[in-house]
A and B are shown apart, each in its own frame.
Chain A
Amino acid sequence: MPPTPCANCHADRAVIIRPKNRQKLCRQCFLNIFETEVHETITATKLFQRGERVAIGASGGKDSTVLASVLKTLNERYDYGLQLTLLSIDEGIKGYRDDSLETVKRNAEQYAMPLVILGYGELYGWTMDQVVAQVGKKGNCTYCGVFRRQALDRGAERLGIKHVVTGHNADDVAETVMMNLLRGDLPRLARGTSIVTGSAASEIKRSKPLKYAYEKEIVLYAHHKQLDYFSTECIYSPEAFRGSARTLIKDLEKIRPSSILDIVRSGEEMAELVPSEVRGGAAADEEAAETTGCGSQGGSGRTRGGEMAEMERKLAEDEAAADRETEVTLATAPAARRKKNAVKSQVLGKCERCGYISSQRVCKACTLLEGLNKNRPRTAIEMEESLEESSSTLRRLEKVELGG
């Protein structure tokens, strides 16, 4: 059988079947098309301004490595006039980040970009290893997730950079749409699909230029461009809603490859239809839905499936309560229904302590830090000595809370 020619240039041999539309392309045409599509996304959304300083959230993983490579290429090819910087966050887990940070360091050399690595230790005074020593292994994902969400913004602020780009791809966005639908989370449904998050409340603009790029094509791009990246799959399984949405999306992709983009499109359409009172702004404080892997495992040692099961239980209780209400007193029935359909609005302000945007008085990171700092240094032995009724109860409670 003669080799299939590239469907684009008709000259070279096709070596790639595009996951997005099963088009057969040669290596060079694939790379060009991939880059051009990202360029189109950037120009259509007027994402950057000339002379802007942009921090690329770099983990050493495929998404951020491809993002850095493509942005460098496009910045030179189309003369965006951007000053690009790699910004990495070190959670401070011994042995876990070492390899990926080495990758980022090599990337910085390969792309001739400045690199800044900021640790949780510097930003919060606690490395993840110290957090784990304090709270135990089970609840630590909550801390890691909350800290990570703010870390990029805080890091950018230190560098005086006002725009952070992240490697979120189309699969991530589609997953988020499905997940927010399952969770019934309208505010996040409204903002999860927009390419730029961040609002008047925040100094830092966040965007995802790879929003329309398929995960599979990112892998192919990295492979054919021979990019140097490190597989940083989170060692914990995703929480139940995201896990469920992820499986669903992989199945959908098998049936109709375009469905990932179709879901993103649906998400964009639905975002327009979310009532304005629930939109809120871009609540970066609560961007749990936007982190891709871990970050929302849930506190106090809940297992996989815990979040979904808990919501199920809560919904069943609400349902039972509503039923009792409507059946006993007919007069209150319409009111009850109205209440059920009413939507909570989110008001965004700034955290009193750190100034980061938050829908609460004190942002989640500061609340967690307060808890950590209160118990430092740990006084377990002292308590053992002064055994009183109240303190032993307290300690038992503490054990339940921390040990899970």
Chain B
Amino acid sequence: MPGKEIPDRCMNCREAQPAFILRTRHVCQDCYVRFVKYKPFKRTENYRLRRNMPQDGPCKLLLPLSYGLSSTVLLHMLHEQIEAMRLKPHGPKGYELLVLTIDPSTISPTIPSHDEAFSLAEKLFPQCSFTTVPFHSIFDLDPNIGEVMSQYAHADFKDQTSLSNQERLEVFRASISTATSKVDIDNILINRLIVAFAQKMECRGIVWGDSDSKLAAKTLANVAKGRGSAVTWQVCDGMSPFGLEYNFPLRDLFTVELRNYASFFPELAELIIPHEQPSENTLTKNLSIDELMVRYVLTQGEKYPGVMLNVTRTASKLQSSGASSAGPQCNLCGALTFDANEASVAPQATGQHSDNLSSQICYACARSRPDLSC
């Protein structure tokens, strides 16, 4: 068929040999890298040029590094930006990047502790400052969390302050029964830990590594878990309910593009922990909703990548909840709760929990409560 032949020159620079297909165009490696880097470059422009913010004083951004593909690639790109900024003596002051890692072995015991990677990252990205904390340090960074846990969990659950923080967290996490609720609550706790750290370090905002497919899965999962109104800050650039700006600079990039980018820089391979997908044989009902959505976006994304990308774009068009319809913040996840009188007359699926807690815990968090089996 005419027009389907591989051109002998890169369709962008018209010089080098094309090596990759980038969104239907055959391009060389250099042009590929330039394109992929350009997207987050535009998305971080306001911080580089300090647009609409004080020109003096620090502008700190926190980058939570999970050693996954996306956050590692984002760190690599932003570090390059900072190096370029520092070379210009009279340029704008730009931003500082703080990197936080939560020791992955304290989140999931099946992942080995990743200490060598931490020192390697420090060495590779000298312009950033690095901190690593265990998951259970949430009790130190977010002193209220123990009380919230007791309030939230099953009546039999007691947060025993006499235990070590590690044990306290284990007991709480063990009290949560289903796969969906476990992942949901873990995500909330991790978010709280990161936010608490960012606040302590007086950061202006958080730059998250999520790529487009991750954000699409997150959008759908949030909707499926009854967190519809939270998508305005969970997947959109802008102010979060925690007084920190949330940014997703990789939002326009597909995972495969990040994977290709990472492959051009072999030093990144040692940092990245390969992400294990739940095996194909796992029964659907044993997956968590988050895993199901990742799988859905992955399989549908092969055929319809643009449709999946569009899910996040649609969510971005929603207006973050104005003060009119928003109630107080949920004690657990921090989302602004919808006024129960206005939002829904939906009958509770489970009549067991229409108690006085509903005013402090949002609808979706109540769904993940430990003693609900479904």
Interface residues of A (CB under 8 A from B): 20-23, 37, 40-41, 44-45, 177-178, 181-182, 184-186, 189, 212, 244, 248, 251-252, 254-259, 261-270, 272-275, 278, 308-309, 311-312, 315-316, 319-320, 323, 326-327, 333, 341, 343
Contacts and interface: CB of A to CB of B under 8 A. Distances in A.
Nearest to B311: A181
13 contacts: A22-B373, A182-B307, A212-B347, A252-B224, A255-B292, A256-B178, A257-B374, A264-B346, A268-B228, A268-B344, A274-B318, A309-B304, A311-B306
Contacts of A45: 345
Nearest to B345: A44
B319 A265 contact: no
A266 B228 contact: yes
Contacts of A327: 38
A254 to B, nearest CB: 4
A312 B303 contact: yes
A184 B310 CA distance: 6
Nearest to B232: A273
Nearest to B352: A21
Given A22-B373, A256-B374, A316 B321 contact: no
The 8 closest A-B pairs by CB, nearest first: A266-B228, A315-B306, A262-B226, A44-B345, A258-B349, A269-B229, A269-B228, A273-B318
Interface in B295-320: 296, 300, 303-307, 309-311, 313-320
- Majority DSSP secondary structure for residues of A touching B: helix
Contacts of A21: 349-351, 374
Contacts of A184: 310-311, 313-314
Contact of A269 (B178, B311, B338, B351): B338
A315 B307 contact: yes
Contacts of B227: 266
B219 interface: yes
Task: Give the most central of B316, B345, B373: most A CB within 10 Å.
Answer: B345
Given A252-B224, A270-B231, A265 B343 contact: yes
A121 B214 CA distance: 50
A263 B344 CA distance: 12
B349 A270 contact: no
Task: Give the most central of A262, A309, A341: most B CB within 10 Å.
Answer: A262
Given A259-B224, A308-B307, A312-B304, A41 B338 contact: no
A258 B374 contact: yes
B285 interface: yes
A224 to B, nearest CB: 19
Task: Give the most central of A37, A257, A259: most B CB within 10 Å.
Answer: A259
Contact of B317 (A37, A259, A341): A341
Contacts of A248: 220, 292, 296
B320 to A, nearest CB: 7
A338 B222 CA distance: 26
Contacts of B300: 244
A315 B317 contact: no
Contacts of A263: 223-224, 226
B365 to A, nearest CB: 12
B367 A258 contact: yes
Contact of A320 (B23, B42, B220, B374): B23
B349 A20 contact: yes
A130 to B, nearest CB: 36
B287 interface: yes
Contacts of A37: 347
Contact of A265 (B226, B306, B311): B226
Nearest to A318: B306
Contacts of A254: 284-285
Contacts of A44: 345
Contacts of A251: 284, 292, 296
A309 B305 CA distance: 10
Nearest to A248: B296
B151 interface: no
B24 interface: yes
A244 B311 CA distance: 14
A244 to B, nearest CB: 7
B180 A255 contact: yes
B77 to A, nearest CB: 18
